[in-house]
Structure 1
Amino acid sequence: MIDQLCFLLVPGLRDSDPGHWQTAWQQQAPQWKRITQRHWSQPDLDGWGDAINRELRPSDPPALLIGHSFGALAALHWARSHPQRVAGLALVAPAEPLRFQVEDRILPQPLPCPSLLFASHTDPLLPFARAEFWASAWGSELVDIGEAGHINTEAGFGDWSWGRERVMAFASTLR
């Protein structure tokens, strides 16, 4: 079923730098899509949603959105508005919605599709107890990766082949 999915990377604030796992994954699978936009420093769910809309054509197969940090929140928000276009979500180190004052739009309700939530015990943007809360509220499978910071370049996550393997295994279970 993997060949019947559209993979879309949704970076967080300031985009993902050249050493980031999202960049490495895109280089390893150039057919994967990745959002682009002008205002990477503005945490705007609607702006990120517009970027997702530009990348995913209505004729594309259902998407697996792979979001990091604020991009995970944007992917989740977009999936709620377009459930028929999303096969699954991989939420990597999602930011705490309260941190960006989007708690009125990122609700503790089950998601419309299967999802993984990768969380770290030392993430400065989402305490692990909150990751457990959100995973339970959203119906996401929680993937505890230990003390891994924000699961980004600064925390030593360049290629992150284990994460990609885990996402691909998840993708193989989707419609």
Structure 2
Amino acid sequence: MSLMPEINLILVPGLRDSEAGHWQSLWHQLNPHWLRIRQRNWEQVDLEAWIDAISREQKKVNAPLLLVGHSFGALASVVWANRHPQLTAGVVLVAPAEPMRFGLDDEILPRPLAVPGLMIASHTDPLLSFARAQFWAQAWGCELADIGEAGHINVESGFGDWPWGRAKLETFAAQLAANSSR
């Protein structure tokens, strides 16, 4: 998949990173030019460590980022994008975790994001009920893609390469590029 040159894609995995068969890892293998955050400790719930990891990768490029966050990585993507809207083209939030689960109620607020967003959510995600996904998507002003009963949209839920997700990402990226050229 080739994104527009005006946008750099960055993968932001959640806790424990994304194992070899995870869609984020497989997409990165197919697109090694995409950025991907690195962490010293993938087990520790530390929002600022994720934010710092995104910032380190952002310094390698000159164009705005399209952040593709999964689970806790989606929450970090929201915060980073709101802190750095001038450096962010948009966010794709796949199976974001419930902010309250990590005590992030004061950091992640129910108000519109500073950038365009797409949320992909499941009815059977153990980390975020679909009702809460609807709440957050509306609060953040994100388009909500309902993918039915898909668990946490990870390897355990049967998601490997996930071509539907890649196609949705391509469409969203094309919309961002078209809007930025106006």
> Is the TM-score greater than 0.5?
yes
Post-superposition offset of 1:42 = 1.1
CA RMSD, Structure 1 to Structure 2 (Å): 1.0
Which range moves more in the overlay, 59-68 or 142-151? 59-68
Q: Runs of 4+ in structure 1 displaced over 2 angstroms?
A: none
> 2:125 aligns to what?
123
Q: Secondary structure at the match of 1:136?
A: helix
Does the aligned pair in 1 maintain the 2:8–2:61 contact within 8 Å?
A: no
- Corresponding residue number in structure 2 for 1:52: 54
| Aligned partner (choices 116, 126, 134) of residue 136 of structure 2 | 134
Q: TM-score, normalised by structure 1?
A: 0.98
* TM-score, normalised by the number of residues in structure 2: 0.94
Q: Which residue of 23, 42, 45 corresponds with 1:43?
A: 45
Structure 1 counterpart SS, 2:175: coil
Deviation at 1:59, TM superposition (A): 4.7
Q: 2:9 aligns with which of 7, 16, 41?
A: 7
For structure 2, the residue ranges without an aligned partner over 5 or more in a row are none
Aligned to 2:158: 156
Question: Alignment identity in percent?
Answer: 61
2:108 pairs with 1:106: yes
Contact 2:19 2:25 in 1 (8 A): yes
Give the one of 19, 24, 27 matched to 2:29.
Answer: 27
Amino acid at match of 1:121: H
How far 1:2 moved relative to its partner?
A: 1.7
Which one-letter code corresponds to 1:45 in the other structure?
Answer: L
Aligned length: 175
Give SS of 1:173's match.
Answer: helix
Aligned residue for 2:78? 76
CA distance in 1, matches of 2:137, 2:41: 29
